Structure 1
Amino acid sequence: MRIRRTSAALSAFTVLAVVLAGCSGGSEDDPAAAEQESPLAEYMNAVYGGDLSPEEQEQQFTEQQAEREELVAQCMQEQGFEYTPDTQSSSFSSGDGTEWEPDDREWVSQYGYGAVNSPFSEEPVQPEEEYVDPNGDYVMSLSESEQAAFYEALYGPQPTEEEIGEDGSYEYDWQTAGCQGAAQHEVEGEDVSQSDEFKPLFDAMNEFYEGMSSWPGMTELEAEWAACMDAAGHGGFATQYEAQDSIYEDLNAIYEEMVPTEDGEVSGEPDEAARDALAEREVELALADLDCREETDYRDRAAEVNREAEQQFVDDHESELEAMKAAAEQD
């Protein structure tokens, strides 16, 4: 797993994924499960608000958006533009209730790893109210050069080619992100995950998770799992992650065969026969994987390895983690 410091949103998503991966969903009512909870959880929750209930997150999001939009309006007026606060998008979702059950045999028999087919793709699309930009008419009344100036004042200048990475990401800096960036900084405070002060700590986390396969106990577990897969006729994978990743790689290859048009858009549909064949192979592989995970007690053993490794990381970096937590809670 990699914690990337390219943007606030991406960093938050990746770190939360790391925390959830190391958590077994324990609670105070279940001491045995609580022991398996990620030792890094309290620090990451402090940074990203994971300790708030969905209702509290909803309320916080709505209040912050309203305050942020008022600040944006003031800032834009100071820049010589009209701006109507946009609160239509004041919605927050912490989950839609869709079950993701990669350890449930019935679920795996239907979705495999959830790559080609998934319960999310089967969810009915809820009709949404048509979005109307409250500043749309005003922007359209401006000349082309005035529109460019409006958006630069609102969001800051576009990053240069040198600033954009190969994957399209770039280092976010609120000071160059226009009125939106300034308003977000004032409302939400300093994003410690983007702070130079804590960059060495996040770099250490990156290095820590990149070495996951060599953690004490993990090498032996992966070897047992790989031997089981080989005996089941699905050899060639050194780690459990490689098995599921192979399906995603093949799925990407199917979509990469679609022909882009001159304007960069992709035309046509993916090869349905190839997708169906991959979906069938995915389920077969995922079921064998599940069998081998059950045979090797993979989930519980990996969780314990993760807990012990994270605890060692916490012990080694406790002062930096406490400082990060204090900075996050102060904001």
Structure 2
Amino acid sequence: MHRKTLRWAAPAAVGLVFVLAGCTAADGSVDSAEDSPLTEYFSAFYGGEMSEEEQQAQFETQNKQREELVAQCMQDEGFEYIPAPSTMTFSSGTEWKPEDREFVAQWGYGAVEYPDADEQPEPEQMTPDPNADYVMALSESEQAAYYEALYGPGPTEEEMSEDGSYEYNWETSGCNGWADHEINGDDPLQSDEFADLMDAVTKFYESSATLPAMVDLDREWAACMDAAGYPGFASQADAQNSIYEELNGVYENSTETGPDQATMDEIHEREVELALADLDCRKETDYRAKYQKAQFAAEEQFIADHKTELEAMKAAAEQARP
């Protein structure tokens, strides 16, 4: 089967979403992550200013163009490929209300059970892959060549980090990557021009928990949790993380059918109790409002220190968007 060399590209979509979702303002209202000072500079990468309907329409248009390009590329590689329809839906679903006691009493942190879980499509309801029959008719070696043409050869052991992640190289990501790059162009966040800025952003968020105001706030919250019978948490995030870490362990040690329902029910019961105590201590310490005030002040200072680079990055993102 004829093979040719392609320069392939990775997707340029950015999923940069910062914390602070659902922060309670001093007046009792709930501010969203979109209010974050730094969010203004990154929303251009993912269309944050568009409505769900606008995002859905843009995605469907781009997906149609992308799938046609993938089909062209796969044909050049010597394979058949039928463009697949869009299956992604932009919908916020049930409003997430982590500061509402009734909501937390039902869902906890949303680790075991969460809103709209019953609305996830069953396998038989999902759109079938129009290329499944063609791929199944190929020999084992032809299937391997098909998937390498479609997705690229995959990372080597040297390219993989300990946690299984790797740097996504647009030049080695198959026809999917090439098609994405044809539509989206180069990702400004991956360019050398903004490498130092992105390193600074990463270090900023990694160190934000050590800000004096944050440390004092977590100490106050931890004392409240200790008094409520939940000692051992150094920061507010540790409470939620403890549930997810336990769940990870359960799934890792479960059979192919997954963990038994009794185990999940028991974890969910403890999750809700912990989340309610966490909520009470957040309210007692005015945690969300104080956290947001400290975080936003730190972001404003970061912006002041990197104003020129951030403006250049935002302009590059707006220019690169289709």
TM-score, normalised to structure 2, is 0.84
Task: Flag the 1:189–1:124 CA change in 2: closer, same or farther, 3 A.
Answer: closer
Specify the SS of the correspondent of 1:21: coil
Question: Residue 296 of structure 1 aligns with which residue?
Answer: 285
1:226 to 222, 226, 247: 222
Question: Residue 12 of structure 1 aligns with which residue?
Answer: 14
Task: Flag the 1:202–1:248 CA change in 2: closer, same or farther, 3 A.
Answer: same
Uncovered stretches (5+) of structure 2, i.e. residues with no partner: 1-9
Counterpart amino acid of 2:51? S
User: Per-residue deviation at 1:61?
Assistant: 0.6
Q: Deviations over 1:101-145 (max 9, x none)?
A: 111111112222222222243446478655343334443444433
Contact residue 116 and residue 275 of structure 1 kept, 8 A: yes
**Percent of aligned positions that are identical:** 56
1:191 aligns with 2:196: no
Specify the SS of the correspondent of 2:56: helix
Question: Residue 4 of structure 1 aligns with which residue?
Answer: none
Question: Residue 54 of structure 2 aligns with which residue?
Answer: 56
Specify the SS of the correspondent of 1:217: helix
Contact residue 37 and residue 307 of structure 1 kept, 8 A: no
Question: Residue 307 of structure 2 aligns with which residue?
Answer: 318
**Range with greater deviation from structure 2 (196-205 or 129-138):** 129-138
Counterpart amino acid of 2:266? A
Give the aligned length: 308
Contact residue 22 and residue 33 of structure 2 kept, 8 A: no
Question: Residue 263 of structure 1 aligns with which residue?
Answer: none
Uncovered stretches (5+) of structure 1, i.e. residues with no partner: 1-6, 259-265
CA RMSD of aligned residues (A): 2.9
Q: Deviations over 1:242-295 (max 9, x none)?
A: 11111222222323332xxxxxxx424424444333322222222111111111
Question: Residue 43 of structure 2 aligns with which residue?
Answer: 45
User: Per-residue deviation at 1:209?
Assistant: 1.0
1:82 to 71, 80, 98: 80
Contact residue 156 and residue 177 of structure 1 kept, 8 A: yes
What are the equivalent positions in structure 2 for 1:1-331 lying under 5 Å apart? 12-13=14-15, 15-16=16-17, 18=18, 21=20, 37-86=35-84, 88=85, 90-123=86-119, 125=121, 129=125, 131-258=127-254, 266-331=255-320
Q: Deviations over 1:165-193 (max 9, x none)?
A: 22222211111112221111010111223
CA distance in 2, matches of 1:34, 1:252: 28
User: Per-residue deviation at 1:148?
Assistant: 2.6
Contact residue 21 and residue 32 of structure 2 kept, 8 A: no
Contact residue 221 and residue 298 of structure 1 kept, 8 A: yes
Contact residue 11 and residue 184 of structure 2 kept, 8 A: no
CA distance in 1, matches of 2:88, 2:34: 29
Specify the SS of the correspondent of 2:267: helix
